[in-house]
Amino acid sequence: MPELPEVEIVARSLNTIVSGKKIVASELLRSRLVPDCSPTDFADRLRNCTINFVNRRGKHILFDLDNGRTLVTHLRMSGRFMHLPIESENPKFAHAIFYFDGDTRLVFDDQRHFGLMKIVETSKVSETESIRKLAPEPFSDEFSSDYLRTQLRSSKRSVKEFLIDQTRVCGLGNIYAAEVMFLAKVHPEQPANTISAAKSVILHDKIRKVLNEAVSLGATLETNETNIGGSIYGSGSDWAWRVYDREGKECVICKLPIHRIRQGGRSTYFCKRCQKKTAVRQSK
Ligand SMILES: [Zn+2]
């Protein structure tokens, strides 16, 4: 599933490609993509509006429209956008199509069928169910070192589960959480409320570092207009994870083999020597 950096790059790419474009018609081909709206309502609410800009909140992509509405999209597992010439055929998993004034259309294609869209009043975007509970954006002032410290102290869950909880820290998934814990030298099973004050400052720093690094890399990659999706850092890129997906391979710091454990049904990768558990006590 795309994590914050990938969604950021998708939103930036879309902003470049579709801002200022007028939607003359829309088609909803898989009704469950937009659970609270019929295909007819979907088409009605989007007809003849212009896309002001595209941005992001958490992993949600927001199309700000000039009719006072915002189209909120979550790519989930495999959702992607394709900017195509009008004469080309629809891709196999075309679930929504936005026809532009001119000779192109934007298709939402989703092989795994988990994608979600919602049309909301722009003034109420922050009150939308899935957005309301999100933690502050990781690059915002609100996401301060004090904020993170307070959140850590109030959670008894493992630091790994804490980091991927979007209501605590916004934007980290399985991959970046592993990278953050490795850089911060934190054991993934350490209870969040036992992280020391000094360590929580380091975690805060590494969260921003890891996300920033990935966004910066993504920004250097060329956008493929016909495939704007979450699989940005796939094969062919020079990207290499420090610890994620490296079970049995040498730790880049100490050369010990990287370990994999299961947490909440998902794999966590870490180095037993570099990421030691500290004594479990409620830190001050
Ligand atoms: Zn190591």
Q: What is the pLDDT of residues 187-198, one digit of tens each?
A: 999 999 999 999
Q: What is the pLDDT of residue 270?
A: 98
Decide: 176 and 206 in contact? Cβ < 8 Å: no
The matching CATH number, chosen from 3.40.50.150, 3.20.190.10, 3.40.190.80, 3.90.1580.10, for 4-132 is 3.20.190.10
246: CA distance to ligand 1 center in Å? 12
Decide: 275 and 256 in contact? Cβ < 8 Å: no
Decide: 249 and 106 in contact? Cβ < 8 Å: no
DSSP code string of 18-39: HTT-EEEEEEESSGGGSTTS-H
State the first-to-last Cα distance of the chain, in angstroms, to the nearest integer.
Answer: 36
Please give the Cα distance from 232 to 223 (Å, whole number).
9
Contacts of 221 (CB under 8 A, 6+ apart): 9, 232, 237
Q: What is the pLDDT of residue 284?
A: 46
Domain 145-270 matching CATH 1.10.8.50: the answer reads yes
The residues annotated as belonging to the active site are: 2-3, 59, 266
> How do 228-229 and 60-65 pair as beta strands?
unpaired
Please give the Cα distance from 103 to 201 (Å, whole number).
51
273: CA distance to ligand 1 center in Å? 5
Q: What is the pLDDT of residue 68?
A: 97
137: CA distance to ligand 1 center in Å? 30
Q: What is the pLDDT of residue 41?
A: 96
263: CA distance to ligand 1 center in Å? 20
pLDDT tens for the 284 residues of the chain, in order:
788 999 999 999 999 999 999 999 999 999 999 999 999 999 999 999 999 999 999 999 999 999 999 999 999 988 999 999 999 999 999 999 999 998 899 999 999 999 999 999 999 999 998 899 999 999 999 999 999 999 999 999 999 999 999 999 998 999 999 999 999 999 999 999 999 999 999 999 999 999 999 898 888 888 889 888 866 654 445 568 999 999 999 999 999 999 999 998 999 999 999 999 987 655 44
165: CA distance to ligand 1 center in Å? 26
What's the whole-model pTM score? Answer: 0.90
Q: Give the count of alpha carbons within 13 A of 74, CB side only.
A: 21
Q: What is the pLDDT of residue 263?
A: 94
Considering only CA atoms, which of 9, 227, 219, 207 is closest in space to residue 106?
A: 227
The region, left, alpha or beta by phi > 0 then psi within -120 to 50, assigned to residue 234 is beta
Q: Which token pair is 144?
A: 């301060």
DSSP code string of 56-93: EETTEEEEEETTSEEEEEE-TTTEEEEEEETTSPPPTT
Q: What dihedral angle (degrees, nearest 10) is formed by the CA atoms of 78, 83, 88, 90?
A: 30
Report the interhelical angle of 197-220 vs 174-184 (nearest 10°): 130
3-state secondary structure 189-215: CCEHHHCCHHHHHHHHHHHHHHHHHHH
Q: Which token pair is 149?
A: 């410290």
Beta bridge partners of 42: none
253: CA distance to ligand 1 center in Å? 5
Q: Where are the domains of the chain?
A: 4-132, 145-270
Please give the Cα distance from 109 to 94 (Å, whole number).
4
Q: What is the pLDDT of residue 224?
A: 87
